[in-house]
Each structure stands twice: as C-alpha cells, then as structure tokens.
A and B are shown apart, each in its own frame.
Chain A
C-alpha cells in the first residue's frame, strides 16, 4: 500500500471515492429511505400525498390475509433453502473432493452461465415442460403413468426456486469445500473415522460459514422471487412479492405495497443476521 504522506486534501483519492457514494446514495439509499416515508403517505383519488399516517401499517398488518401470505412466503423460502442446500451438496462434494481441476473449472464455468441468463425465459420453458400435456407427462405416459398435475402446485414453485438458486448454491458450496484443509480430512481417515462420518464430523463444520452464506443467498432469492410462485405455482395463495405487485400495480396503493416491502426487508435482515451470527459463532 502506498501511504498518503500529505495531510492536505487528496483530490485524486476523493475523485475515485465520489462516484459510488453519489450514485448509490441517490439511487439506492434514497429510494429505500423514501420507501419508509412512502409507507406513511396517503392515497386520495389514485394520487399519493405526503402525510404521516399510520393507516397503511394498521390496515395492512391488521388483515389476516397478510399474515397468511407472510408465513406462506417464509415456509416456501425456508423449504427452497433446505432443498437447494441438500440437492447442491452431493454435487459440490464431488466437484471439490473427487473431480479434477479441469472438470471443476468447467463445471463452475457452466454453472455461472444460467445465473446470468434470463430467468423469465427459463421459467417459461418449465411451464411448457411441466404442463398437463407437456414433455414430462408425455414421457411418463409411455410407461402408463400420469398425467400428474405439476403446474400451479407447490412442486412447480419449488422447481422454479431450484432453477433460481441451485447453480449459485453449488458454486458457493464448492468454494467453501475447497477451503477445507485436506490434511484434516486425511487425519480423520487415519484415525479410523468412516467416510460418511468424516463428512459430518470434520468437513461440514469446517465449511460451515460458506454453506450458511450459500443458504442465505437461496433464502433471499426465493423469498423475493415472484416469477416462480406466480407462473409455476399459480399464485394460490399469493406470496408477499405477488402481493406487492397486486397492491401497487392494480390498486395504485404504493404506500401499502411499501409496508409489505418493508416487512420483507426486516424479515430478510433478521434471517441474514442470525444466520451469519450462527456461521461465525466460535465452535465449542
């Protein structure tokens, strides 16, 4: 690091600091803070007026349908997180412990692609694949099975969440496992610890932080996603994300949608912080 000698204002240093602060301050912090204010605004004749009114909070949180939706969204997101973590593990375990360096490199290369390619188009493809007369049911009927209803069910929603989260989870878990000291694994084997037991007694505790981070990302992604529960889950009943759309798009009730959004942010922060606290807790 080159130390700064002068005490006078370093314009060079400042000019590199300013763009991010200005842009994210104006267009990231600004909107989020404004949303807090907006949740107290009132709507008259489809127009929003600045006010300080607890009405939106009382009305939104006072409706049982909000809490139904809240706990449904929580359950779905937790379910997706657990499923993704479980489904990703054998793959990341293989990539980290059994695959060659080249194979691992290519696998990660391919797993990054879907994360940055149109989620919407992929969900539409699933809609066609999972339909009543879709590819899977046609395939199953060759064996005299089905047809099974997969669209507009919880199963459909979970397929969507997995599409969203699985590639990222495998990548993050693989990185976490790569950080595990191989000598400790060998030591466990030498001391007579079985292969399976080693995973739970040595490998997973060592890779805990990375696994929790991966799980937190899955939770955030599925908690906020509206495409999977809407287009694959049939939005029956709606999740919080769908509720935001319904409230803001059709009813012009931005303030009430802001209440829902703020409840989501508080929940996400709560989950993320407790998960990270758990991940960094010192082992006894």
Chain B
C-alpha cells in the first residue's frame, strides 16, 4: 500500500473535481424548482412556475419539434455514414485510406463557430440555408465521426475470421453483411444512434447560423440568454439535460456492457 495521506488527499481532490463538473448540472435542476428569480442561498420556496412559463412559451413548441426532427434525422444519417466508414476501415486497405480516415475523423477538431460560418456561406450559395434540412446536413457532418468511432470499436472486437468463414460457406457479401456483421454491431449501432442524437440535440452554434427562422431548442436558449437572467432557462435546460443524459447513458451502457461480456467470453 502506498502512502495513505496522499491517497486520501487524491480521493478528496477527485471528489472536488466531480463536484465542479456536476455543479452546473445539479444547480440547473435545483434552480428550476426555485421560486426566486435570482437563486441564491438560502433557497426560496418550491415552484413549478418556470416549467409552466416554459410550457406556454409560444416559441418553444415549434423549436422542440424542430429539435426532435433534426436529432432523429441526424442520428439516422450520421450513423449510416459512420457505419459505412467504420466497416471500410475495418475491412479494406486501399490507396488513399489515410485521407479517407482524416476525412472521417477531422470534423470535430474544427471549432463549431468556424463550421457554422463556412456552412452558412456554402449553403446560402445554393439557397439551401435557413431550413430544417440545412441543420440536418450540418449536424450529420459533425456527428458521423462519433458514430464511426463507436462502431469501429465494436468491429475491432469481432473475430476477423467470421466474415471469410461465411464467404467460404457460400454466403454472398451482402448476405454476410445482413446476417453476420449488422447483428454483431447492433449494440454499437444503437449506441451511435443515441449519441449522435444527443450531440445534435445540444448543438447550438451551427444551428444558430444556418437555421434562419426554424430555431431549435438550443438556439431559443441562446437567444433567451442574450437577454436577462430568466429562470425559464433552468426549466427548459433541465428537460434538455435529462434527454441528453438519458441518451448518453443508454449509449454508454450498450458500449460498456458489450465490452465486458466479450471480455469474459474470450
């Protein structure tokens, strides 16, 4: 055993770090039920007023619908593209593969505000900005790399002889894909769907630039924030946080659960 005081100090330290990371998330939930307009200590009374205010906010319902449409479409599209890219990387060596992988993984390293401007310019060029589809197009670019990474991880756990074995037994490429590879990667596909939906659901910079009048929820939040402190945001924010946390937790459980089960199997 190492020096006990160091361990205790490190334990306290990591507690503080987790407190820092989760303080805003917890605070958002607590403040959303707090009657004070400017929440402080001691806390005011319990209220659901901010939720009611948010619920009757005329801007919010269309925004919620837009957010859901965008998140769903983005999840489907980016998971499909991510899957094709991950499978290509798993199975094939070809000229220009490094370029292919860079193309697949680079988008998250470009700051969102830059992507937002570039996307606005590009889409306006084709009179394609200011629509819900514009947001889906942009979000798919940003989310596909995450889907690709998750599915690639799962393919890494697959026995490389499985596919050739199916071929030897007479299955065609497409039959093998449908009966071997897709079932094997299913948990990671669902995880990718959840995670990309979460990323899309929370993205605000690119949406703000390309959405025009078709705002999503994060864009509405951004616009409320530019005004005064409005506790409505805590109520909307709590719901948004719950949705994305749920999606991320489902995604993680699927990825982690499977990692463990194959870990014990092999």
Q: A residues near B, CB below 8 A?
A: 1-2, 4, 12-13, 15-21, 23-25, 27-32, 34-35, 38, 87-88, 90-91, 93-95, 98, 105, 107, 109-114, 116-129, 131, 133-135, 137-139, 142, 162-163, 166-167, 170, 195, 220-221, 223-226, 231, 241, 244-245, 248, 254, 257-258, 261, 264-265, 268, 272
The answer to whether A114 touches B25, judged by C-beta atoms less than 8 angstroms apart, is yes
Where chain A touches its partner, the secondary structure class is helix
Residue among A28, A223, A226 facing the most chain B CB atoms (10 A cut-off) = A28
The answer to whether A87 touches B114, judged by C-beta atoms less than 8 angstroms apart, is no
Stretch of B12-20, B50-58, B151-159, B182-190 that contacts chain A: B12-20
Contact partner of A129 among B10, B27, B81, B237, CB < 8 A? Answer: B27
Nearest chain-B residue to A18 (Cβ)?
Answer: B84
A-B residue pairs in contact (CB < 8 Å), sample of 8? A20-B103, A20-B104, A24-B107, A28-B106, A31-B119, A117-B245, A122-B28, A170-B17
The answer to whether A125 touches B112, judged by C-beta atoms less than 8 angstroms apart, is no
CB neighbours of A109 from chain B (8 A) = 252, 256
User: In the bound complex, how far is the Cα of B164 from the Cα of A182, in angstroms?
Assistant: 38
The answer to whether A125 touches B118, judged by C-beta atoms less than 8 angstroms apart, is no
The answer to whether A117 touches B28, judged by C-beta atoms less than 8 angstroms apart, is no
Q: B206 → chain A, closest Cβ, in Å?
A: 10
CB of B65 closer than 8 Å to a CB of A: no
User: In the bound complex, how far is the Cα of B18 from the Cα of A94, in angstroms?
Assistant: 13
Q: A96 → chain B, closest Cβ, in Å?
A: 11
The answer to whether A34 touches B141, judged by C-beta atoms less than 8 angstroms apart, is no
Residue among B21, B22, B115 facing the most chain A CB atoms (10 A cut-off) = B21
Q: Closest 3 CB pairs between A and B?
A: A224-B111, A121-B237, A125-B24
The answer to whether A131 touches B237, judged by C-beta atoms less than 8 angstroms apart, is no
User: In the bound complex, how far is the Cα of B137 from the Cα of A121, in angstroms?
Assistant: 24
Q: B194 → chain A, closest Cβ, in Å?
A: 10
User: In the bound complex, how far is the Cα of B49 from the Cα of A280, in angstroms?
Assistant: 56
CB neighbours of A114 from chain B (8 A) = 21-22, 25
CB neighbours of B92 from chain A (8 A) = 4, 13, 16-17
The answer to whether A17 touches B24, judged by C-beta atoms less than 8 angstroms apart, is no
CB neighbours of A248 from chain B (8 A) = 117, 120, 209
Contact partner of A20 among B17, B85, B113, B205, CB < 8 A? Answer: B85
User: In the bound complex, how far is the Cα of B123 from the Cα of A166, in angstroms?
Assistant: 34
Nearest chain-A residue to B161 (Cβ)?
Answer: A2
The answer to whether B100 touches A19, judged by C-beta atoms less than 8 angstroms apart, is no
Nearest chain-B residue to A217 (Cβ)?
Answer: B109
The answer to whether B84 touches A20, judged by C-beta atoms less than 8 angstroms apart, is yes
Interface string of B48-90 (1 = CB under 8 A from A): 0000000000000000000000000000000011001101100
The answer to whether B118 touches A116, judged by C-beta atoms less than 8 angstroms apart, is no
Contact partner of B24 among A35, A91, A163, A225, CB < 8 A? Answer: A163
Interface string of B21-53 (1 = CB under 8 A from A): 111110110010000001111100000000000
